Structure 1
Amino acid sequence: MVVRPLRDDRYVVETDHGTYVVDLDERSCTCPDHAIRGARCKHLRRVAIEVNEGRVPPPGKRSAVCAVCGVRTFVPIAERGPQLCDDHRFTPGEFARDRETGSVLVVTELTTERADEYETEEGRTVADYETNVHYGGHEPVVEAAYVESLRAVDGVVDLEGVRRYGFPASRLQRLGRSHPRVAAAPTTDAAPV
């Protein structure tokens, strides 16, 4: 059996005896076994196996390629722009180290803009900066603030108003998950790199 995802969260299952459409959310299949007898058919089971094994995207997701390592990953259907796999995706509040300077930063946002598209306050793209020449212009930009620029208010770090910088995703190295006392703030324009 060959399983192919459709754009509407359903799957086509091709067999030697026919082609059927499976809907995991509705637990339905167009094969006679399911349509007539209401049985949980082999096509439903096969799609579930393919999803669980990571060979096809689950409902609500589509296949994409990580802009850093090229590994296939599944992302929400509506996601646009360059994508990152779980190993390279950053989340706001997460700590990272700048591979060029060794400085520690806190991530404020993962954008959907490429480094060769994202413009800084200076009117240059992130990819145009000399320090980013060895990183992919096709990579999404990660906005981050230098840890030494952060201040705590009542024991909680507030990122609002902190100057943010844009980096190609592979320039940053993950240090660990976010600290519970770092509160992400609404996005503002990124400062120059």
Structure 2
Amino acid sequence: MTHPEYTAASSDSDVRRPLAPDTSRLDDRSARAWTEAMAVRPLGYGRYAVESQSGATYLVSLPRSDCTCPDHEIRGERCKHLRRVAIEVTEGRVPPPGKVRGDCDICTRESFVPESGPAVCGDCWLERGDVATDRETGDTVVVYRLTDETASKRYIDSADCTVADYPKNDGYPTDDPVVEVVYPFSGDAEADLDERPRYAFPYSRLAVRDQMLIE
């Protein structure tokens, strides 16, 4: 699995290269973004507090490409603070917009997980269209969406119980995120995912394959 906090220049790489670029080839603002002592603290929603080498602290918004420093506000330049945040995000030192550092609900490894929604890392994330096997029946199912509900909280009206209490889900973690799936080979063969009945499964009941259904 790829750890987002590691880079291509980590010690497990057999390619020798410096951790930083040759700053003599960079423009002044880019070079200072790489070399000056700064502290970057994520604030959420794509905003970061950057303590500059001078001791001043500025607010950077990556989604808006905005910084409160004079170089950006007065001169209209893409300042060293914006560039430093972009570097730290790219290098995996701070979370990108929309993510926070936290433990993945599936693998429990510390990683970057969504600010809102299920706390699932990139390695464990399920996309719409991912193909999986139901461990209980061997049936092929297709992921409709990964939800932020847990198996113990999602109620199944037709079964009059929660996903966790559903008989075939006995033994799976009750705090598993719920995954909504559809059966691709039942009913109208031409129906897309939105037109098919959806069923709620605990994440661990699904054995995800290295396949995806192209709609």
TM-score, normalisation: structure 2: 0.66
SS at match of 2:161: coil
**d(CA) in 1 for partners of 2:184 and 2:68?**
56
Partner of 1:44: 82
1:68 aligns with 2:98: no
Partner of 1:137: 174
Deviation at 1:68, TM superposition (A): 0.8
8 Å CA contact 2:113, 2:119 repeated in 1: no
What does the per-residue CA deviation read over 1:119-148, in whole Å, with 9 as the maximum and x for residues that have no partner?
A: 112221111134434332222211223445
Local SS of the residue matching 1:83: coil
Amino acid at match of 1:168: P
Structure 1: state its 5+ residue gaps: 183-193
Counterpart Cα distance in 2 of 1:48 and 1:173: 36
Stretches of structure 2 lacking an aligned partner (at least 5 in a row): 1-37
Could you give the per-residue CA deviations for residues 84-129 of structure 1, whole angstroms, max 9, x where no partner exists? Answer: 2233222333210122333211223322211000111222111113
Deviation of the 1:50 alpha carbon: 1.1
Quote the offset at 1:12 in angstroms.
Answer: 0.5
Which one-letter code corresponds to 1:122 in the other structure? A
2: CA distance between counterparts of 1:55 and 1:174?
29
- Provide the rounded CA distance (Å) in 2 between the counterparts of 1:123 and 1:35: 58
Give the number of equivalent residue pairs.
174
Deviations 1:31-83 (CA, angstroms, capped at 9, x unpaired):
45555665544322221111112332333x131542211242342x4x34x33
Aligned match of 2:59 in 14, 21, 26? 21
1:101/1:48 Cα in 2 relative to 1: closer, same or farther (>3 Å)? same
Tell me, what secondary structure is at the counterpart of 2:164?
A: helix
Rounded Cα–Cα distance in structure 2 between residues aligned with 1:94 and 1:117 = 24
Identity of aligned residues (%): 48
Determine helix, strand or coil for the equivalent of 2:89.
helix
Q: How does 1:69-148 map to 2 (within 5 A)?
A: 69-71=107-109, 72-75=111-114, 77=115, 79-80=116-117, 82-120=118-156, 121-148=158-185
Residue of structure 1 equivalent to 2:205? 171
